[in-house]
Amino acid sequence: MPTFRIELFEGRSVEDKRRLVDAITRTTCETLGVTPGSVDIILVDVKRENWATGGRLWSDPEPAV
């Protein structure tokens, strides 16, 4: 039973998420030889203010160059 937890910025459409989980499920089934019913995918929408990279929140404006 493979389980995927995918964290992504909020704001993506339900259709985008549907395409993503379909592609992951198909690839997992082909690669691991499992049935679609055994593939769990948990999508977690994260606000940009709750995600940081390189010491900077994604909600912060781009630094001046």
Instruction: Give the active site residue among 2, 36, 61, 63.
Output: 2
Q: Is 63 a catalytic residue?
A: no
Give how far Cα 33 sits from Cα of 21, 22, 54, Å: 17, 16, 38
Query: How far is it, in rounded angstroms, from Cα 44 to Cα 9?
Result: 8
Residue 43 near residue 8 (C-beta atoms within 8 A): yes
Annotated catalytic residues are 2
